[in-house]
Amino acid sequence: MNSPSLEDSLAQALSARLTLVSEPHTAAFRLFSGYYEGQADLTADVFGKTLLLSTGAENLSAAAVWLETARAFYLQKLPWLECVVQKQRGGDRAQKQGEIVWGTSPAVEVIENGVHYALRLQMNQDASFYLDTRELRTWLQQNCAGKSVLNTFAYTGSLGITALAGGAASVRQVDLNRGFLDLARTSAMLNHLDLGRMKLVANDIFSEIGWLKKGQHLFEVVILDPPFFSVTEKGKVDLVSESTRMLNKVRPLVQDGGYLIAINNALFLSGQEYMDSLQRLCTDGYLEVVTTLPVPADVTGFPDTVVRQPPVDPAPFNHSTKIAVLKVRRKAS
């Protein structure tokens, strides 16, 4: 049997997502998750009325064919699109950040569960808004009312904005890059949120953790969403070899009865290995895994569209982006 063509794979994936393709076209979702759905180095996302095509292929000639095929397919099937941006991780700086190949102006915001999020699709290699944490944003919106929230490795602050929109009493957003945090401010303004309840801190997270511990600052919700690997003068993040090291660093900042949100996106760390590491932290009785949150089906692929499994089994999670909610108990002083 011949393998399906790229157009066939795109059509099957689109058919599974028709419920997401609805007016007024202000949402963000994945149209094609190529790794799982038939073309490993191609991803297609929608942000409002902008199509974002991304490829990690090193062979730029092959990538150009895939991108052209996908662009033509979606422009025919989704006539409401107003712009197409392409990102090529194997290209030059402009290609990595994204080039407008059709239309004029990319979307500058999306709406999810009534919350507006500012976008800068060409700010860096990523899209400035992560689709795989959609269920976490829903959880935060529903569980942060009246709470103090610390969002570490905040990037553009979407998780903190969700918490603030859900009624959080205060949100502290920490990232090393001031430019990323500026987008969080724009998102807050789009939602007419009280900027006085949000503190944006451009600081190395390791320095920030030390300062917060020294001042005995505690939070009712702490979000830990670090990059896969990172090294600064102050410390290192390694989500494969040291998957729980950062959890132990931020755990003292969570007040008694509070929540610690742990996210690990290491592709080659199995879900069971990660869960086992979390359970080992829970053996002292002061941590408890309350729940895990799934990655949406448009990102993972649907049962009838998936043709390739991940390199390691993510179970009991459903994707290599592994999201766990832990409850913290503190020892009596």
pLDDT in tens, 207-263: 999 999 999 999 999 999 987 555 566 666 665 666 688 899 999 999 999 999 999
Distance CA 331, CA 278 (A): 19
Long-range contacts of 275-278 (CB under 8 A, 24+ apart): 275/316, 275/317, 275/322, 275/324, 277/243, 277/244, 278/244, 278/247, 278/324, 278/326
The pLDDT score that the predictor gives to residue 264 is: 93
For residue 174, pLDDT beyond 80: yes
For the stretch 30-78, pLDDT in tens is 999 999 999 889 999 999 999 999 998 888 888 899 999 999 999 999 9
Pair (46, 151) in one structural domain: no
Domain that holds residue 63: 6-107
Distance CA 44, CA 51 (A): 7
Q: Is 112 part of a structural domain of the chain?
A: no
Please say whether the beta carbons of 263 and 293 come within 8 A: no
- How buried is 118 (Cβ within 10 angstroms: 0-12 exposed, 13-18 middle, 19+ buried)? buried
Pair (84, 136) in one structural domain: no
Pair (256, 163) in one structural domain: yes
The pLDDT score that the predictor gives to residue 90 is: 83
Name the residue with tokens 């992560």.
130
Q: Is 113 part of a structural domain of the chain?
A: no
* Cα angle 303, 305, 307; round to 5: 95
The pLDDT score that the predictor gives to residue 88 is: 92
Distance CA 298, CA 304 (A): 12
The pLDDT score that the predictor gives to residue 61 is: 87
Pair (196, 322) in one structural domain: yes
275-279 average pLDDT score: 95
Backbone angles phi, psi at 257, to 5 degrees: 85, 0
Element (DSSP H or E) covering residue 205:
helix 205-214
Query: How many alpha carbons fall within 13 Å on the CB side of residue 168?
Result: 32
Q: How many domains does the chain have?
A: 2
For residue 151, pLDDT beyond 50: yes
Pair (64, 161) in one structural domain: no
The pLDDT score that the predictor gives to residue 231 is: 59
Q: Is 77 part of a structural domain of the chain?
A: yes
Q: Is 277 part of a structural domain of the chain?
A: yes
The pLDDT score that the predictor gives to residue 282 is: 95
Of 77, 107, 137, the residue at which a domain comes to its end is: 107
High-pLDDT (> 70) share of the chain, %: 94
The pLDDT score that the predictor gives to residue 1 is: 38
- CATH number, residue 23: 3.30.750.80
